């Protein structure tokens, strides 16, 4: 017998005492049956929102979703009245939401069999054999797949997302219905599509998820720039590449060492500029001259289209713009410092995560002494001051020592000192800097 947590039992029992029906349902029951921690509890009930507000004084009604949130000591629990949704005509919103009369009716409007299992703490109600599909790792639409996808096209993304979160297969009829109706995804708001895409990227089977998007035809609509990369071969004499650009991108994603979906997206898109820059020379050598600039430009259009935040956009574009950085033991410290300035110290770990994905996704060996040395050197050069602000003295020291007023002269002196420190002529130590300061002005 599976155990519901205390708060979930309290909610169900309180409603039963009032003569109403209540069940845990959806992702939480799915997770419980799989023995996984759950992210959020969903309940379905015969109680109307006003009943819920009466029974639970510490609750509030969310008009938009018809959901009541109940504050319990540990969390907020979402309770939704039985629904029956009929007649979708814009592939997004039911034309009229009506309260359903029975649990069976409510379960019949849910998307997939594994999400249509209800549990009241004693009995599992599973009219669509969701437990069977859960055991066999299958995502299957409730009822007629074509109809269900036509009703709500977001279910296409949800199918792929849940498959990549759980490592499940989409059953053939459901997959077929998705493939046949991919164009309908254009009726869904970009924000909702983007959020599902981010969840696919953040999932344990992200690479498989992207391949599923490719296979269904969704990728061609959501990310046509990446879809086109699967047609670009890069096998040529004297080149290490074994995959086409699209497959390489997915392999890079698979090997990217960051779990952050934003960094993973940058990794996935870092080479899309190879599509328009593809050239074959007389010797049969394939080149992608300047592809990182073109990748950056194409990605900029993508992230704007998908309405990413300013901060996310800046990170994604920076990572892609500089992904071709040189890793060479003969590089000077100054070259390393220039690299760090371009990428930004806050993005260094993510830049390396992308690069590791890129390398391993191209079939390179697990460890590279060059890369390890490069990382060590990055740490070393960062111990040196990076900007004037890192100097152990500041503008006040300059003004006091040289008896000058605030003005551009102060900044000039500081940057002259910084240049000497950077060139290794002077240590970034307060006493030494003050002593040197006394010798100013230099000319």
Rounded distance between C-alpha atoms, residue 200 and residue 196, angstroms: 6
List, as one string, the DSSP characters of 267-336. Answer: HHHTTTTHHHHEEE-TTS-EEETTHHHHHHHHHHHHHHHTT--HHHHHHHHHHHHTTT----TT--HHHH
Q: Does 27 bind ligand ATP (CB under 6 A)?
A: yes
Residue least distant from Mg ion (Cβ): 27
Nearer to ligand ATP, 153 or 413 (CB): 153
Nearer residue to Mg ion within complex by CB, 162 or 229: 162
Nearest to 267, CA basis, from 277, 252, 257: 252
Q: Min. distance of Cβ 151 from ligand ATP in angstroms?
A: 8
CB of 147 to ligand ATP, least distance (A): 12
Q: For the CB of residue 73, give the shortest distance to Mg ion in the complex, in Å.
A: 20
Q: How many CA atoms within 13 Å lie on the side-chain side of 119?
A: 27
Three-state secondary-structure class, residue 141: strand
Choices 34-42, 61-69, 129-137, 331-339 (CB under 6 A): range interacting with ligand ATP: 34-42
List the single partner that 110 binds among ligand ATP, Mg ion, none, CB under 5 to 8 Å by kind: ligand ATP
For position 42 contacting ligand ATP by CB under 6 A, the verdict is yes
What mask, x for binding Mg ion by CB under 5 A, covers residues 20 to 59? -------x------------x-x-----------------
Closer by beta carbon to Mg ion, 27 or else 145: 27
Judging by DSSP bridges, how do beta strands 169-170 and 138-139 pair with one another? parallel
C-alpha span between 369 and 328 (Å, rounded): 10
Closer to Mg ion by Cβ: residue 118 or 251: 118
Looking up tokens 């969840």, which residue turns up? Answer: 199
Q: How many Å separate Cα 285 from the centre of its chain? A: 35
Looking up tokens 């319990």 gives 72
- Helices 172-180 and 154-166: angle between axes, nearest 10 degrees: 140
Q: In a 10 Å sphere around its CB, with 0-12 CB exposed, 13-18 middle and 19+ buried, how is residue 35 labelled? A: exposed
Neighbour count for residue 330 (Cβ, 10 Å): 6
Query: What minimum distance in Å lies between the beta carbon of 209 and ligand ATP?
Result: 14
Query: Residue 155's binding partner, choosing from ligand ATP, Mg ion, none, with beta-carbon cut-off 5 to 8 A by kind?
Result: ligand ATP
Identify which range of 35-43, 130-138, 268-276, 384-392 contacts ligand ATP by CB under 6 A: 35-43
Query: According to CB under 6 A, which one of 12, 26, 52, 437 is a site residue for ligand ATP?
Result: 26
355 interface partner picked from ligand ATP, Mg ion, none, CB below 5 to 8 A per type: none
**CA–CA distance, 366 with 370 (Å, rounded to integer):** 12
β-strand 42-45 against 59-62: which pairing, if any?
Answer: unpaired
Residue 27 vs 361, nearer CB to Mg ion? 27
Bridge partners (DSSP) of residue 85 are 97
Given candidates 49, 59, 82, 111, which one binds ligand ATP under the rule CB under 6 A? 111
Residue nearest to ligand ATP (CB): 27
Helix (H, G, I), strand (E, B) or coil at 229: helix
Residue from 81, 115, 247, 318 that binds ligand ATP (CB under 6 A)?
A: 115
Q: How many residues bind ligand ATP (CB under 6 A)?
A: 13
- Binding residues for Mg ion, rule: CB under 5 A, are 27, 40, 42
Residues at the site binding ligand ATP, with contacts judged by CB under 6 A: 26-27, 39-40, 42, 110-111, 115-116, 152, 154-155, 158
């Amino acid at each position: 017998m599976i155990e519901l947590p205390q708060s979930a039992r309290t909610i169900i029992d309180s409603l039963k005492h009032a003569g109403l029906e209540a069940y845990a349902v959806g992702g939480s029951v799915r997770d419980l049956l799989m023995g996984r921690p759950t992210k959020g509890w969903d309940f379905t009930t015969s109680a109307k929102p006003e009943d819920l507000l009466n029974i639970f004084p510490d609750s509030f009604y969310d008009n938009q979703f018809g959901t009541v949130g109940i504050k319990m000591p540990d969390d907020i629990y979402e309770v939704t009245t039985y629904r029956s949704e009929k007649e979708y005509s814009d592939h997004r919103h039911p034309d009229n939401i009506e309260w359903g009369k029975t649990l069976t009716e409510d379960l019949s409007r849910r998307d997939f069999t594994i999400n249509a299992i209800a549990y009241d703490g004693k009995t599992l109600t599973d009219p669509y054999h969701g437990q069977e599909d859960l055991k066999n790792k299958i995502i299957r639409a409730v009822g007629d797949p074509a109809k269900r996808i036509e009703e709500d096209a977001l279910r296409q993304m949800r199918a792929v997302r849940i498959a990549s979160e759980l490592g499940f297969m989409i059953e053939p009829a459901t997959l077929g219905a998705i493939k046949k109706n991919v164009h309908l995804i254009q009726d869904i708001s970009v924000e909702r599509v983007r959020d599902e895409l981010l969840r696919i990227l953040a999932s344990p089977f992200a690479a498989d998820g992207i391949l599923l998007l490719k296979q269904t035809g969704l990728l061609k609509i959501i990310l046509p720039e990446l879809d086109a990369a699967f047609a670009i071969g890069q096998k040529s004499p004297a080149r290490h590449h074994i995959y086409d650009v699209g497959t390489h991108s997915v392999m890079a994603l698979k090997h990217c060492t960051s779990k952050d979906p934003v960094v993973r997206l940058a990794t996935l898109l870092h080479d899309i500029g190879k599509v328009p820059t593809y050239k074959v020379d007389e010797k049969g050598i394939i080149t992608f001259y300047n592809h990182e600039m073109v990748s950056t430009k194409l990605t900029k259009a993508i992230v704007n289209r998908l309405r990413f935040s300013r901060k996310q956009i800046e990170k994604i574009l920076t990572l892609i713009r500089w992904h071709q950085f040189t890793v060479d033991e003969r590089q000077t410290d100054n070259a390393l410092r220039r690299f760090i300035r371009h990428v930004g110290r806050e993005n260094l770990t993510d830049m390396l995560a992308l690069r590791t994905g890129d390398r391993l996704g191209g079939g390179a060996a697990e460890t590279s002494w060059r890369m390890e040395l490069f990382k060590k050197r990055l740490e070393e050069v960062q111990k040196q001051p990076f900007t004037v602000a890192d100097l152990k003295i500041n503008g006040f020291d300059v003004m006091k020592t040289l008896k000058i007023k605030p003005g551009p002269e102060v900044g000039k002196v500081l940057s002259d000192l910084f240049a000497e420190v950077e060139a290794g002529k002077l240590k970034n130590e307060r006493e030494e800097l003050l002593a040197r300061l006394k010798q100013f002005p230099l000319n």
